[in-house]
Structure 1
Amino acid sequence: MSNPKTWFITGVSRGIGLEITKAALAAGDKVVGTVRSNPERLAAQLNHPHASIVVLDVTDERQAQEAARQAIERFGSIDVLVNNAGYGLLGAVEEATNEEVKRNFDANVFGLLNVTRAVLPYMRERRSGRVINLSSVGGLSGLAGWGVYGATKFAVEGLTEAMATELAPLGVFATAVEPGFFRTEFLDTSSLVRTGNVIADYAETVGEMRGYATLVNKKQPGDPAKLAQAVIRLAHAEKPPVHLPLGNDTLAMYGDKTTKFQQEIAQWHDVITGTDHDDVKH
């Protein structure tokens, strides 16, 4: 592709982050990828002169700032930020402990904010850049068993929509990418935490989802290599969208949600529209 870019991608040790890293390098771009440990192992695996692997725990704001500084020092700019690092939490909302919830938000939301704040000053200075936040189908539609994880991704959606408006006049574009079920390690214990607490009353809903997650692991419909190519195209687009849902499953679930939402609005229209003061003219 023309106009090679420098990428800053979090969570590249495996899965979607690694696929995007490989695709960006194959496209002729440069990549600073972050891992929580053993950067030498991945650097040796990639064995690419335009790949720089650095240690970063996204929950550590100072580490995020230092990693961004190193990226600028190495390549001179950060053109594309991909906030990919994070993990899933499977369990009913009631089952999740306060500590489990906090850890999930620390990684998926506050970690994303740490990295974004570290990178945006460089993009603003150049009046150019792309911020790509990995959300989820769970950030578009609430699913049984994924309430807390989905809440982190709903937060990512709201942050991305606001940033898209705030950054556009500065030449920086923000997009939320919403993958459905892709065939990665997401459902493995390396990327998915299940709540320690299990309540029998949720067997028909969350229990079914737990079983499904085990059954579908490594059989998900989405191809992560194709997802990576979609992100490459997104990063090079002149006018990228604010939302990019990926996968037929994501599209179907979101379509079902919006249909039901419109039906509820129609059923409750008189209540919805009847809450203004009487002196308000429409």
Structure 2
Amino acid sequence: MTTQTWFITGASRGIGRELARAALAAGHRVAATSRRSSDITAALGEHANLLPLDLDVTNPAQIRAAVEVAKARFEGIDVLVNNAGYGYLGLFEETNADDARAQFDTNVFGLFDVTRAVLPVMRAQRRGHIFNVSSIGGIAGFASATLYCASKFAVEGFSASLADEVRDLGIHVTVVGPGFIRTDFLDPTSVRFADSAIEDYAALSQQLREYYEQKSHQQSGDPARLAAAFLELAAAPNPPQRFSAGSDALEVTDQRLTQLQQDRQAWAALSSSVDGQWA
């Protein structure tokens, strides 16, 4: 087994914590980040190959500092996992511009900034693997998750484009789209709900909120099994550009592909009619 250096954001709980634990158990070196590095130590304990780092992904200066410390300590970074993020749930008209900016600052622009800081390290090495954690909400939309899904669709488009840019430099990019994983994602300590209520949406909003609250900590996906999947993907010589994590993620992906194919076939003639000769 080749020993790798992993840089994992959002590693104090949930998927990030399980991944850091699995990577350490497999003998890898791990730079694990959280807003408070003490939370990393509390979650994972002391380990010779563990480097806990303070990192708020909305703070570019802190990102650059954390990457430099990790590079100096471990002499490079082989695997980047952009895992930090949160879910904002609420029907679009019940959200506001500040909610949208905050969601994108963490889930999209924070991910961009961490990737931008790590890419020079990987380019110099002529090797690396970037994992961007998306969601089933990155391939299909869901009522009450408009802001969250918009942020994850952005991650999907970014990942597909970046993969084409860095492939010849020996760098792989894989976007991971989990389904419902048994973490704190839907817990009040993590998820955020819109505060503004509009009467026309009251019944739907309440129904959806109750659904997500009942789903919390009852999800079918096992974060430890997902962590094992990450390790297998990182060791693969030809990893996928997109990986759906969980049977529910496969189901949603299949539904989305079917919908796209049906729309394509139903409207193919009109689509082709847009073509024309140069004047």
Q: What is the TM-score normalised by the length of structure 2? A: 0.96
Post-superposition shift, 1:237?
Answer: 1.1
**Which residue of 1 is the match for residue 197 of structure 2?**
198
The residue identity in structure 2 corresponding to 1:195 is: A
**Which residue of 2 is the match for residue 267 of structure 1?**
266
The answer (yes or no) to whether the contact 1:136–1:180 under 8 Å persists in 2 is yes
**Which residue of 1 is the match for residue 27 of structure 2?**
28
Post-superposition shift, 1:208?
Answer: 2.4
What pairs with 1:132-143 in structure 2 (closer than 5 Å)?
132-143=131-142
Post-superposition shift, 1:273?
Answer: 1.1
**Which residue of 2 is the match for residue 174 of structure 1?**
173
SS at match of 2:188: coil
| Cα distance in 2 for residues equivalent to 1:249 and 1:90 | 19
| Cα distance in 1 for residues equivalent to 2:118 and 2:69 | 11
What pairs with 1:158-173 in structure 2 (closer than 5 Å)?
158-173=157-172
Post-superposition shift, 1:28?
Answer: 0.5
The answer (yes or no) to whether the contact 1:43–1:52 under 8 Å persists in 2 is no
**Which residue of 1 is the match for residue 47 of structure 2?**
48
> Comparing 192-201 with 240-249, which one deviates more in the overlay?
192-201
> Comparing 192-201 with 76-85, which one deviates more in the overlay?
192-201
| Cα distance in 1 for residues equivalent to 2:184 and 2:63 | 24
User: Which string of whole-angstrom CA distances, capped at 9 and with x for unpartnered residues, describes residues 64-95 of structure 1?
Assistant: 11100000111101000000001000011111
| Cα distance in 2 for residues equivalent to 1:207 and 1:272 | 39
Post-superposition shift, 1:204?
Answer: 4.9
The answer (yes or no) to whether the contact 2:32–2:40 under 8 Å persists in 1 is no
- Tell me the percent identity: 44
| Cα distance in 2 for residues equivalent to 1:247 and 1:114 | 28
What pairs with 1:45-194 in structure 2 (closer than 5 Å)?
45-194=44-193
Post-superposition shift, 1:190?
Answer: 1.9
Post-superposition shift, 1:201?
Answer: 2.2
Post-superposition shift, 1:235?
Answer: 1.1
User: Which string of whole-angstrom CA distances, capped at 9 and with x for unpartnered residues, describes residues 31-63 of structure 1?
Assistant: 0011102x2343254221100101011111111
Distance verdict in 2 for CA 1:72–1:279, change over 3 Å? closer
Post-superposition shift, 1:260?
Answer: 1.8
**Which residue of 2 is the match for residue 13 of structure 1?**
12
| Cα distance in 2 for residues equivalent to 1:172 and 1:190 | 35
| Cα distance in 2 for residues equivalent to 1:231 and 1:202 | 39
Post-superposition shift, 1:199?
Answer: 2.1
SS at match of 1:94: helix
| Cα distance in 1 for residues equivalent to 2:161 and 2:254 | 23
SS at match of 2:151: helix
**Which residue of 2 is the match for residue 211 of structure 1?**
210
User: Which string of whole-angstrom CA distances, capped at 9 and with x for unpartnered residues, describes residues 135-191 of structure 1?
Assistant: 000001011111110010000000100111111100000000000001100001222
The answer (yes or no) to whether the contact 1:136–1:177 under 8 Å persists in 2 is yes
**Which residue of 2 is the match for residue 247 of structure 1?**
246
The residue identity in structure 1 corresponding to 2:116 is: R
| Cα distance in 1 for residues equivalent to 2:161 and 2:259 | 25
| Cα distance in 1 for residues equivalent to 2:235 and 2:47 | 21
The answer (yes or no) to whether the contact 2:140–2:253 under 8 Å persists in 1 is yes
What pairs with 1:219-258 in structure 2 (closer than 5 Å)?
219-258=218-257
CA RMSD of aligned residues (A): 1.3
The answer (yes or no) to whether the contact 2:12–2:39 under 8 Å persists in 1 is no
Q: Give the gaps of 5 or more residues in structure 2.
A: none
SS at match of 2:158: helix
| Cα distance in 1 for residues equivalent to 2:192 and 2:262 | 35
SS at match of 1:62: helix
> Comparing 255-264 with 133-142, which one deviates more in the overlay?
255-264
| Cα distance in 1 for residues equivalent to 2:39 and 2:80 | 23
The residue identity in structure 2 corresponding to 1:43 is: T
The residue identity in structure 1 corresponding to 2:92 is: V
| Cα distance in 1 for residues equivalent to 2:205 and 2:126 | 46
- Size of the alignment, in residue pairs? 278
Q: Give the gaps of 5 or more residues in structure 1.
A: none
The answer (yes or no) to whether the contact 1:183–1:221 under 8 Å persists in 2 is yes
